[in-house]
Each structure stands twice: as C-alpha cells, then as structure tokens.
Structure 1
Amino acid sequence: MSDVVLVTGAAGLVGRAVLRRLAAAGRPAIAVDRVATTIAGVPVAPVELTEVHALHGLVRGRSLAGVIHCGAISGPMLGREKPFSLVETNIVGTANMLEIARIHGARRFIGCSSASVYGPSFGAPIDESTDLRPATVYGASKVAGEHLVAAYGREHGLAGTSLRLSWIYGPDRSTPCLLRQMIAAGLAGEALDVPFGAGYPRQYIHADDAAAALVAAFDAPALPRPAYNVTGGRIDTLDAVAAMVMAQLPGSRIRLAAGPDPLDDHHGPIDIAAARDDLGYRPATDLPDGIAGFIAALRDGR
C-alpha cells in the first residue's frame, strides 16, 4: 500500500489546494476538516483537531508518509471573541497532529504558520531572522505551533518545518476577504467604500502558490530551517489592488479611505529568498492574473 499524506483543514482555502495538487499527482491522501465533503475525489472526514481518538482511527493501519497541517482557526480576524478556542484549536490541535505523526511513524511534518508571527513591522525587510513579536493571540498561537514543530524535530526526530504564509486569496476563501468584497461589488455594479486601506501595504499569495510551497517543503530532501517566509513575491497597497480590480471590471467603483486595516498587521517587504533557495519555491500566479481568475470564478458562481 502506498504511503499516504494526511492533510488537515482540507476543506479550507489552502488545504483544498493542497489536496487537489496531491490528487493531480496521483498521491494518496487522508483528508480531515470540520465539515464532510469530497475534494478532487478524496472524501474529507469531519473530524476536529481535538478529537484525538478519531484522528488515530483514520490513520491506523495505513503507512503514513507525513502530515501537511493546514487546519486552524485561520487569520487574526477570526476567533477574537473566543481566544481560548483559538488557542485550543491552533496550539493543542497542532500538538495532537504532531503526536499522530510521531506515533504512526511519519517522516515529515509541514505546518502552516503565518506572517502574523512577526507582529507589526515598518520599513525594514522581514526575513526569517526577524524577531517574532506577535500582536494578536492568533499570531502567538502560530509562534507556539512553530516551536512545537521544531521541538518535535529535535526531540523525536520528526523532520519538519513551518511556512509563514502571507495574506492568502482565491475563490475558495470563505473567511473575510477585502479582495473578494471588491470583486463582488464590481460584478454587482455596486460602489464599495472602504473606511481604510489607502497607502496600506499587503502581500498577497494565491492559494495555489501556498499549496505548491507546502508540497515542495514536504518533498524537499532536507529542511535546513525551522521556518520559511512564503508570499506572492510582491507588495502592493490596497488602493493599488483596488485599481487592478477596477481595470478588469470597467465601471466598478471602489474608494478607500486612509488608514490601516484594523484587523491586520502592517508588514514591510517579506523576503522569500530562503524558500526559493531551499525549497525551489517561486510564485507562479502574479496578482493581476490571480485577480482575473478570481473574477472568472465568482462570475461562474464558484
């Protein structure tokens, strides 16, 4: 029986893209999420990250190659009113998945972290040596997850790393997304007034590029670093992003007021050279092309 890859958060934006990539390559996978569905022909089991016995049951009797751990309360805009639930899902859930990997003899563990681990930064480029100063419980939960992944490697020999993903977009995103709001308003012929964002930088990454980086890390012969920055390779202000949407949807009207996004950290340019050098990662979807695909998907009701 072929080794299987366990994908958590498989019905989410990134997990779904990972599962599709694995299926396209003919690689067997076990998929879990909070909701039952089928993606790329792979059934997704409705199991919470805290349901340890159910997770063991899914893996028992299979040869587990490793885990690509996308499951989480994802994003600083979520879980703010229930921080303990965020901690339980993101930290305890990660520990549970590491235990699954350890007990079942997996060779590799790749975790989804976030640029939120850095907290707000201004001006200077951010690389993996930049101090981690999260400003949110979400960011702190991702720092804790990174340390758990690294510690399991040191203490238990489970090879792994964490990818610090920037702001992920794509038509399958179900959590709040300003880019989706812009496109939806343009398609509906409605004006959109955003009370912030002019001059505010954001570093988007398409879900397909995030998935490519995660699978590349899973397959890398070696993982020299405990964490890697992974972005779409460019930085744009939100008003520049709005201009891209309006250029592709003539007649759309998007106005942004000055000021920061109240639910996001300000980040200077994020350096992805380490992911390029160690993992062979290069973003394939430039933002204007990604926006065009997003528009097409929403037009088709996807």
Structure 2
Amino acid sequence: MRVLLTGSSGWLGRFLAPRLRAAAHVVVGLDVAPGADTDLVGSVADRALVQRAFAEHGVEAVIHTGALHKPDIARYPKQAFVDVNVTGTLNLLEAAVAARHDRFIFTSTTSLMISEAIRAGKTGGATRAAWLDETFGPLEPRNIYGVTKRAAEQLCALFHREHGLATVSLRTGRFFPEEDDTHRDLSGENIKANEFLGRRLTVEDAAEAHLVALEKAPSIGGETFILSAPPPFDPSEAEALLHDSPSVVARHFPTAVELYARRGWRLPGHIDRIYDPSRAERLMGFRCRTDFAAVLRALEADAPLPFAHDPSYVSPKENREIERC
C-alpha cells in the first residue's frame, strides 16, 4: 500500500516510516522540514501540495502525524495552529475521499482531555485522580493545541459519517524525548519513568499502534483510542493515588522505592490522572510493550532505560528555522 505519511521528518515519523516499509508499504513522506523519509517538503495547510501528493504518488492511505504541538504555543500564533492542525487535516480528508480511500489514521493527543480543573488536581479541589478513557467528557481543552486537535478529531468523525471513510484517531500519551516544560523539581529521566505509571508510552509503541490501526481501520470504522502504557492501577485506587501515590505504587511494585533510591529518584507524591488504554486492546488488539515494570527491570539490571530521553532534542522544523537565520 502507498501510504502518505505526514510529519515524516518528525520524532514519530522517523520511527514509523521504517516500520511501514518493513511491512511492505511504500512511504510517501510529507513534512515542512527535509528528512531522510520526506519526499515532499511543505505544509498540509497547502491544499495544492496535498492534491499534488495524491495525484503524483498514487497515495492509497493516509497516516497524519504532522501537526503543531504544545511546545509550539510559545513560538507560533493561534492562527498557525488552525491552519496546520484543522485546515491541514481537512485538506487531507477531502483528498482521501476524492481518491476513494478506505482508511485514514490521525495522530491525536491525550492533551485535549485535560481541562484546567484536571490539571489543577487536588490544589483545585479534586478528591481523586481522574480516570480517563474514551467516554470521558465533556472535553474542555485548555489551550489552542488541544482545541485544534479536538476539532481535527471531529472532522475525522464527520468524514466517517458522511463518506464512510474509516477514520481512526489515536490519542497518544507523551512520547517525545525532550525535557518537560512544566516540571522543574525532578530530573527528566525521573519524570519520564514516573509517567509510565499512567500517561506515557515509548515512541516505538506509538509507531506500532499506527501500523496496527492502518491494518485494522476498515474493520474498525470510525473510532478513537487512547494510547498509553497500561496502568498497573484500578479505578478503586483513584483517591489514594491523588493523596498518597507512593504507597499505592509500593503495593504494586515492592522494589520500586529501593530501585529509585539507587538513582536518587523520587516516586510521584501524587498522581492526578490515569489514561486507560484498555479499549485499544479490546477493539484494536494493541497493547504497549513497555510499561512501568519494564522501567524497574532496567533499573534492577543497571541496563539502559527502555525509553528515549534527549534534553537537546529540537523539532526538525525548528532546526530549519534556525538554519535560515
């Protein structure tokens, strides 16, 4: 299958492109920045470029990972988010329908599920950790990134209803390698390890999920799935997670405190949200391979951590802008 992969020069794209080729697909990469897997340099907001990609490359399916992300809020105006994340998605959907495609995979984000109230957690009056699955709502995204990704999800759902296009939206948890832009009191590796308790996955698992979605989309139809490492907790523990998560973690992982201490790490004092990816396992047959237990096994064996951490990582599109200066 000839697959148009948007965001082909980005962090997810560089892992996804080789996986697609290994599965005997032909990758047609589109990105605003050049890259090893990018055939067309430009924006999905450019309708003519999208149409040319379909016409000249015989595209048979779309995996749409290209977007402006949360860190871009500090760099780009809100209109740019609308142009890329909403209009760009619309351009691709219309081209897919015109080409009579039967599948369209959209990379969404769990970020759109987080309102200001959820983010505030117990300081905002919450009494338990938010247990987030695909039925959670109403959705009240707290920034332009979440608003535009939610709008793009709704466009996918609309095209499924109106045209029968199988659209699978994958709400991915965190998988980027750079430092977190909101935490300051823990090391980056410590934060990422903690996030495998309920809100992170590896980029390798994210890429694999897209491959599974591409294969199964026609039989799934129009669906939305949360992607995150499977949490070790139960909803009945939500109150304790918010107020004393180290005790809850220790019940599930008795060696965690000692293993963390060896690194000078700390378990999270409270956990305000848990993403539940069980629906993806039930309906799509996908489960992340790397979880918190895998992190502890690496610590115990003094082996490399099973996730990427790169404080110096800069998006290729920003490198492109720096080179132009």
Q: Which amino acid aligns with 1:162?
A: S
Contact 1:108 1:158 in 2 (8 A): yes
Q: 1:248 to 1:57 in 2, by over 3 A?
A: farther
Relative to its length, the structure with more strand (as a share) is: 1
The aligned runs of 1:1-302 (5 Å cut-off) are 3-39=1-37, 43-74=38-69, 76-80=70-74, 82-120=77-115, 121=118, 123-131=129-137, 132-169=139-176, 173=177, 182-183=188-189, 203-220=199-216, 221-234=218-231, 268-287=273-292, 288=295, 292-294=305-307
TM-score, with normalisation over the residues of structure 1? 0.74
Q: Which amino acid aligns with 2:87?
A: V
1:160 Cα shift? 0.7
Q: 1:181 to 1:68 in 2, by over 3 A?
A: farther
Q: 1:218 to 1:226 in 2, by over 3 A?
A: same
1:273 Cα shift? 1.5
1:224 Cα shift? 4.9
Q: Could you tell which deviates more after superposition, 133-142 or 56-65?
A: 56-65
- Alpha-carbon deviations, 1:235-285, whole Å to 9, x = none? 799999xxx9x96997x66689989xxxxxx85221112100111111012
- Alpha-carbon deviations, 1:157-215, whole Å to 9, x = none? 2111211111113xxx46867799635xxxxxxxx9x9xxx99x861111111111111
Report the secondary structure of 2:167's partner residue.
Answer: strand
Inter-partner Cα distance in structure 1 for 2:143 and 2:269: 23
Contact 1:248 1:292 in 2 (8 A): no
Taking only the aligned residue pairs, the percentage that are identical comes to 25
Contact 2:97 2:165 in 1 (8 A): yes
Contact 1:11 1:44 in 2 (8 A): no
Inter-partner Cα distance in structure 2 for 1:247 and 1:33: 41
Contact 1:167 1:202 in 2 (8 A): no
Relative to its length, the structure with more helix (as a share) is: 2
Inter-partner Cα distance in structure 2 for 1:50 and 1:255: 43
Inter-partner Cα distance in structure 2 for 1:204 and 1:284: 12
Q: CA RMSD in A?
A: 3.8
Contact 1:233 1:283 in 2 (8 A): yes
Gaps of at least 5 residues in structure 1 are 184-191, 260-265
Report the secondary structure of 2:20's partner residue.
Answer: helix
Contact 2:290 2:306 in 1 (8 A): no
Gaps of at least 5 residues in structure 2 are 119-127, 234-240, 250-255, 314-325
Inter-partner Cα distance in structure 1 for 2:199 and 2:94: 33
Q: 1:215 to 1:53 in 2, by over 3 A?
A: same
1:90 Cα shift? 0.8
TM-score, with normalisation over the residues of structure 2? 0.70
